[in-house]
Amino acid sequence: MSKIISVHSFRGGTGKSNSTANLATLMAARGMRVGVIDTDIQSPGVHVLFRLEPDEMHHTLNDYLWGNCNIEQAAHDVTEKVGMPASSKGRVFLVPSSVKSRDIVRILREGYDMGLLNDGFQRLIELMKLDVLIIDTHPGVGEETLLSIAMSDAMLLILRPDQQDFQGTAVTVEVARQLDIPKMLLMVNKTPTSYDFKDVQKLVERSYDCTVAAVLPHSDEMMTLASSGVFVLRYPKHTITQSYNHVVDQLLS
Amino acid sequence: MNSSPPNAGPPNSGPEQDLFQQLVQEIDAWPMQEGIRTTDLTLLNEPLRGVLNATVRESFMTLPHFAEGLNLTLEQAEQIVDLLLEHGFLRSSETGKNGETEYRVRYARAGRNTGELWQRVTGKLDDRLHRLELNVDDNKS
């Protein structure tokens, strides 16, 4: 049975796209066929982590929403680009959003048929024989983002230990509950290493009545990598990689 | 689809009838619209919200699913589904594998802002970007 997982945060800069790329890669490393859709149409970025250059995007999510192609035509196999062997059983397929300024403006101006998103997700799962489809969402609480959450079997909500994130996350948790999302996990990211991680986990779990899948530290290695690759492949034995693996276990359980 | 099934109507009293009436009132309070937004779902009451959320997640529902989810008889569920179709919450789609009609959520078109000012701003931006692209092409050739 395929799973749809949305990765979301209330505010930008929490490491949402980075986490999406790392989780997708770890799932593929376990032999799964993983699809990633960048529904952050206004500020796309996850393609950078998968090292997909704009001129290599033969079709994008925008093209699909405008009826210029089928959703599977916008899926790019990025398994080898990300650094996994060609012989790997697990695969990662990315449906990027266009980074062309005119395309972004056009989407903002004309809008699109949201039903196509739902149909496209289902079609992609079926045709690409996906085990998991991960949706990288636009931060905040917008219509398309809520639809992505509503369609998901599980949601990973990322926050930083920051008062603004805390308040915004409370809003998102409440809305997600109204949408009856079957599984909701929180992940605290970029936590200062001086903090007691167990205390952070307890505080967040108590505040939202929701499981914290992991508390990840602020990492110089991650910052230095600067989205030029996927962390878990570059640092397979790092504690952050172990934590991401733990998140995968919980998302798939 | 018939809005008044001829053979078996809803019972005239009891909790089922109360729930049925409550659902009719709730749906009737919504305007006729061309599709719904996800935020609309969060404003609905149970059990309607739960059933429509499940329809989003499962892609579609059949009439027996609606009857089960709403805890109504098939006939009552059919009337509720008709109302949901009428108000633009649902669309009926191609016949399912077992010959049953499938019902899907009808989504409103996504758009940030459709006001005149917004259209003018994005229109100008689009023109400028188009001209910039043409200049780039000219320079290349």
Q: How many CA atoms lie within 13 A of B140 on its CB side?
A: 6
- Report the domain count for chain A: 1
Q: Is A184 on the interface with B (CB under 8 A)?
A: no
- Residues of chain B with Cβ-Cβ distance to A151 below 8 Å are 56-57
Q: pLDDT digit string (tens) for B69-84?
A: 999 999 999 999 999 9
Are the beta carbons of A98 and A31 closer than 8 angstroms? no
- Residues of chain A with Cβ-Cβ distance to B119 below 8 Å are 109
Q: pLDDT digit string (tens) for B51-70?
A: 999 999 998 999 999 999 99
Burial class (CB in 10 A: 0-12, 13-18, 19+), B95: exposed
Enter the tokens of residue B53.
């959320």
Distance from CA of B43 to the nearest CA of A (A): 8
pLDDT of residue A142: 84
Residue of A nearest to B112 (CA): A108
Q: Is A239 on the interface with B (CB under 8 A)?
A: no
Asked if the Cβ–Cβ distance from A147 to B56 is below 8 Å, we say yes
Q: How many CA atoms lie within 13 A of A234 on its CB side?
A: 17
Model confidence band, residue B9 (pLDDT cutoffs 50, 70, 90): very low
- Residues of chain B with Cβ-Cβ distance to A182 below 8 Å are 57
Does the pLDDT at position A173 exceed 80?
yes
Does the pLDDT at position A52 exceed 60?
yes
- Residues of chain B with Cβ-Cβ distance to A113 below 8 Å are 107, 109-110
Asked if the Cβ–Cβ distance from B126 to A102 is below 8 Å, we say yes
Asked if the Cβ–Cβ distance from A111 to B35 is below 8 Å, we say no
- Residues of chain A with Cβ-Cβ distance to B112 below 8 Å are 108, 111
pLDDT of residue B6: 35
pTM reported for the whole predicted model: 0.87
Distance from CA of A168 to the nearest CA of B (A): 17
Closest C-alpha among A219, A248, A245 to residue A154 = A248
Q: Is A111 on the interface with B (CB under 8 A)?
A: yes
Contacts (Cβ under 8 Å, ≥6 apart) of A120: A64, A71
Averaged over A142-158, what is the pLDDT? 92
Are the beta carbons of A98 and A104 closer than 8 angstroms? yes
Averaged over B99-120, what is the pLDDT? 76
Averaged over A145-172, what is the pLDDT? 93
Does the pLDDT at position B137 exceed 80?
no
pLDDT of residue B53: 95
Average pLDDT, chain B: 81
Does the pLDDT at position B2 exceed 60?
no
pLDDT of residue B26: 96
Please report, for the domain that includes residue A23, its CATH number: 3.40.50.300
Averaged over A178-195, what is the pLDDT? 96
Average pLDDT, chain A: 94
Percent of chain B having pLDDT more than 90? 52
CA–CA separation, A148 vs A144, rounded Å? 6
Q: Is A40 on the interface with B (CB under 8 A)?
A: no
Of A105, A153, A182, the CB nearest to B126: A105
- Residues of chain A with Cβ-Cβ distance to B129 below 8 Å are 101-102, 105
More confident residue, B95 or B3: B95
Q: Which ipTM score applies to this complex?
A: 0.84
Q: Is A199 on the interface with B (CB under 8 A)?
A: no
- Residues of chain A with Cβ-Cβ distance to B40 below 8 Å are none
Does the pLDDT at position A87 exceed 80?
yes
The torsion of the CA quartet A71, B36, B89, B40, rounded to 10 degrees, works out to: 130
Domain with A70, as residue range(s), is: 3-252
More confident residue, A104 or B96: A104
Strand partners, A92: A34
Contacts (Cβ under 8 Å, ≥6 apart) of A45: A17, A38, A227
